[in-house]
Chains A and B, each alone.
Chain A
């Protein structure tokens, strides 16, 4: 594996995503249900998908362009869902706290 800037950034992304995965699973114990709990299961699933998707980053250079395009578009798609879930969660929390 060639250790260039892209690989280093990719490995950094994988590392951060693994930390995210650890934290999202650890927090689950404190959020068993309710408004946050409902969204939390979706967030865990998305972080697992991201972590799996990011794992291929170090091997990008060896992949065919078509496969690469599909993977990147999937990551962007699930990224958009993740942002949507997060915004709705924050909105739900604000609504509950201001009720």
Chain B
């Protein structure tokens, strides 16, 4: 049983896995690995990881078993989660907007997120304008994945970036 108030951090292996995608992680596991920040209680990541809080245990345990994340405290250094009024997504403290966008893309487009995620990661790596990258990724999604989901993604992305 995972304590939802527990705080976990990404290990070096976890950071490498985000780029390499060697392990066959589920969408929720990958999202959680991306947004986990070593500051916020694990329970606060449920929504952005795309799973219910009671499912966090089954999402988190494989990450711990693979050594991708590790507990760092019992919640003593907890950081308050910022939330945007009217926003469906809360951006946990310490999570970069670029990583949150990647997690959002994987949540919205599911298995078809590949090209959109690549585009976002490329923009993040080059330090480009994140909003422009999100708009460009949404256009790509509108052309090749799903028009309605692309609009949802762009609306959520704009909220995330403005947090």
Chain A residues packing against B (C-beta within 8 Å): 30-37, 93, 96-97, 99
Q: How many A-B residue pairs have CB under 8 A?
A: 33
Contact between chains at A97 and B139 (CB < 8 Å): yes
Contact between chains at B139 and A33 (CB < 8 Å): no
Q: Which residues of A lie under 8 Å from residue B146 when comparing CB positions?
A: 32-34
Contact between chains at A36 and B143 (CB < 8 Å): yes
Q: Which residues of A lie under 8 Å from residue B112 when comparing CB positions?
A: 32-33
Closest to B111 in A: A32
CA distance A95 to B143 in the complex (A): 11
Contact between chains at A96 and B143 (CB < 8 Å): yes
CA distance A31 to B115 in the complex (A): 10
* Cβ of B147 under 8 Å from chain A: yes
* Cβ of B142 under 8 Å from chain A: yes
Contact between chains at A37 and B144 (CB < 8 Å): yes
Chain B interface residue number, banded: 10 to 19
Prevailing SS type, chain A contact patch: helix
Prevailing SS type, chain B contact patch: helix
Sample (21) of A-B pairs whose CB atoms are under 8 Å apart: A30-B115, A30-B144, A32-B112, A32-B144, A32-B146, A33-B112, A33-B145, A33-B146, A34-B141, A34-B142, A34-B143, A34-B144, A34-B147, A35-B142, A36-B144, A37-B144, A37-B145, A96-B142, A96-B143, A97-B139, A99-B139
Shortest beta-carbon distance from A94 to chain B in Å = 11
CA distance A96 to B143 in the complex (A): 8
Other than the given A37-B144, A96-B142, 13 more pairs (CB < 8 A) read: A30-B115, A31-B144, A33-B112, A33-B145, A33-B146, A34-B142, A34-B144, A34-B145, A34-B146, A35-B143, A35-B147, A96-B139, A97-B139
CA distance A99 to B151 in the complex (A): 13
Q: Which residues of B lie under 8 Å from residue A97 when comparing CB positions?
A: 139
Shortest beta-carbon distance from B102 to chain A in Å = 19
CA distance A33 to B113 in the complex (A): 12
CA distance A93 to B147 in the complex (A): 12
Chain B residues 113-163 with CB under 8 Å of chain A are 115, 139, 141-147, 150
Q: Which residues of B lie under 8 Å from residue A35 when comparing CB positions?
A: 142-143, 147
Shortest beta-carbon distance from B113 to chain A in Å = 11
Contact between chains at A93 and B143 (CB < 8 Å): yes
Q: Which residues of B lie under 8 Å from residue A36 when comparing CB positions?
A: 143-144
Shortest beta-carbon distance from A50 to chain B in Å = 24
CA distance A30 to B111 in the complex (A): 11
Closest to A27 in B: B144
